Amino acid sequence: MSTTRFRKVAPALHEVTFRGGILERGFWLYVWEITPPDGPLLYYVGRTGDSSSTNAQSPFNRMGQHLGFAANSCMLRRHLGDHHVQPEDCSFRLVALGPLEAESTEATRAQHDERRDLIAAMEKALADALSAAGCLVMNRVACRKPLNATRFAQVRQMFVTAFPHVISSADNGSRSSRR
């Protein structure tokens, strides 16, 4: 006899709306803002553009992978678990910016890797900016690639419009107020 336990969940109506542009493949940056049932807001910073292949998926594709159960791609689910938070109990907001670079169509890795490294450096800078603003960023973004500061300033400003309560253009990454 199986001892599998199932969560009892009351049926509820859910709605997801999005603009079709989020389906476009390429190199994107994104921020998840997660509201758990208890505790502070949680953040996860990510990018599209694989290190293990020459693919650059859409944020929509990554969204399902992040919250799925495949061991190599469910990073958001794993980080929530590390914080003792069940994804099914949370509210999620995904803000994606891109594509910042097109997916490479060359047969070699050179163009893909150049674009991936550019976006990876901005991913780290964005995670650092959110952390400096007092946000609890669950993932540690490690990147030693050089940051294109001019390009990142533009990217940062776009994220400021989505998270004015977190990062402001005037504070340049220092602590700011939170909701």
Per-residue pLDDT of 17-38, as tens digits, reads: 999 999 999 999 999 999 999 9
Q: Which two tokens stand for residue 44?
A: 């996860």
CA pair distance 44, 143, nearest whole angstrom: 16
Say which residues have a Cβ less than 8 Å from residue 61's Cβ, sequence separation at least 6.
48
| pLDDT single digits (tens) 101-147 | 999 988 889 999 999 999 999 999 999 999 999 999 999 999 999 99
Beta strands in the chain (DSSP E): 27-35, 42-47, 91-101, 136-137
DSSP letters spanning 159-173: HHHH-TTT--TTTTT
